[in-house]
Structure 1
Amino acid sequence: MVVSLQKGQKVDLTKSNPGLTNVVVGLGWDTNKYDGSQSFDLDASIFLLGESGKVNEQTDFIFYNNPIGGAGAVEHSGDNLTGDGEGDDETVKVALNNVPANVAKIAFTVTIHDAQARNQNFGMVSNAFIRVVDASSNTELMRFDLGEDFSIETAVVVGELYRHGTEWKFNAVGAGYQGGLEALCVDYGIQLG
């Protein structure tokens, strides 16, 4: 049975699913019809964070140009330029048992590429979600639908996988940011430029 989460809800992942070692995190979205001439390009990015809430090293920022991180434990599917179609727009494979011990949390984010130049924001995005799937059985374990809570934000921290002792849990975050990917990178300790 799929657990449907509310914003801010934290739920156990591995304790209630014994033997779970590999998950696929799917992220999806639709764009609202609007008068702009620019197409939307939303991007999923992943940050592997230490206890400090910052990356341990610059390669702990995983995205379409750096698709594998965490010593191979986290793998991004690649960039979906349109978001067209049903289901997941971008996916991330996570081998939970192989995540380096210095990674306390895995943050999943979505940003709008060139949002400022294209005059776009998450108020123009609908049906955004994150879901966690058992990779071995292709069974959806949990899902968080973000709702329509955003207006001017250009980046969203959608959810987090985090360690709790020897177990993994999931946090439905749904926090919006202005400043796009750059603002997230600064907050998570990525050196820009």
Structure 2
Amino acid sequence: MSFNLSKGDRFSLSKAAPGLSVVKIGMGWDPNDQPNGPEFDLDVSAFAINSSFKIPSDSYFVFYGQVRMGNCVKDIVENELDRPITDDQSILGAIDDPDGKRSDGDDDEDMFIDLTKVNPKVEQIIICCTICKYPHDNKKDRRTLDLNFGQVEDCYIRIVNELNGEELLRYDLKDQYTNEDAVEFGRLFRVGDSWEFEAMGRAHTGSLQTLVDMYT
């Protein structure tokens, strides 16, 4: 049974699925592309942070631009390309999907987290989505500077028990955005020996760099 969360809701992953180890974080969106307009490219990233709200090392900033090193859950996630990966082999980052088009039932991008391997220094893992803008976009189109989440619909994050494919929860973003181009969708955080999830929906301007400045 999957639970639909609202902004600010917290959900105990450990209670919902005792013995939970590997989770899939699936995310999706539908950009409102304009004819002959700039292309949308949304990117998923994660910041695994410690008690000081900072990443313990560069490895814990997980995004498509990292060196692709391997597959930490290769026995579970088969036939995968190499992805960004943390030093503790716990977080397998997303593969960039620049066109934002997906088949029915598929996520735009996903990442995998082995909760049993997360470094004890990591207290929470914040899952984010940002709009790629000039000069980092593929076509070097200055018009991407004006893109924002107000032009994106049906944004969601969901968590799946990767061992059996059961969806545990889903959070659909309902906020009306204007100039924001970076959103912290949600966070996984420790409560003693358990893991919980909070639906955040916290938006920022400044795209990915704003989040990098916050957590590094």
TM-score (norm: length of structure 1) = 0.93
Find runs of 4+ consecutive structure 1 residues off by over 6 angstroms: none
Aligned-partner Cα distance in 2 for 1:143–1:59: 27
Aligned-partner Cα distance in 1 for 2:36–2:59: 35
Structure 1 segment 74-89 matched on structure 2, within 5 A: 74-85=91-102, 86=104, 87-89=106-108
Which residue in the other structure is 2:5 paired with? 5
For residue 149 of structure 1, what is the amino acid of its counterpart? Answer: Q
Deviates more, 1:95-104 or 1:116-125: 116-125
- State the Cα RMSD in Å: 1.4
Does 1:105 find its partner at 2:124? Answer: yes
Which residue in the other structure is 1:23 paired with? 23
Give the Å deviation of 1:70. Answer: 4.5
Aligned-partner Cα distance in 1 for 2:87–2:154: 30
Give yes or no for contact 1:123–1:148 (8 Å, CA) kept in 2: no
Give identity over the alignment, percent. Answer: 35
Which residue in the other structure is 1:179 paired with? 206
Determine helix, strand or coil for the equivalent of 1:68. coil
Determine helix, strand or coil for the equivalent of 2:54. coil
Determine helix, strand or coil for the equivalent of 2:89. coil
When residues 47 and 38 of structure 1 are mapped into structure 2, their CA distance, relative to the original with a 3 A threshold, is: same
Give the Å deviation of 1:149. Answer: 2.2
Determine helix, strand or coil for the equivalent of 2:211. helix
Give the Å deviation of 1:52. Answer: 1.4
When residues 156 and 125 of structure 1 are mapped into structure 2, their CA distance, relative to the original with a 3 A threshold, is: same
Match of 1:161 among 172, 179, 188: 188
Structure 1 segment 94-133 matched on structure 2, within 5 A: 94-114=113-133, 117=142, 118=144, 119-133=146-160
Deviates more, 1:11-20 or 1:121-130: 11-20
Aligned-partner Cα distance in 2 for 1:111–1:126: 14
Determine helix, strand or coil for the equivalent of 1:97. coil
Aligned-partner Cα distance in 2 for 1:36–1:121: 17
Match of 2:169 among 142, 150, 153: 142
Give yes or no for contact 1:115–1:121 (8 Å, CA) kept in 2: no
Aligned-partner Cα distance in 2 for 1:160–1:123: 22
Does 1:91 find its partner at 2:110? Answer: yes
For residue 163 of structure 2, what is the amino acid of its counterpart? Answer: S
Which residue in the other structure is 2:81 paired with? none
For residue 102 of structure 1, what is the amino acid of its counterpart? Answer: K
Which is strand-richer, 1 or 2? 1
- Where in structure 1 are there 5+ consecutive unaligned residues? none
For residue 10 of structure 1, what is the amino acid of its counterpart? Answer: R
Aligned-partner Cα distance in 2 for 1:127–1:110: 13
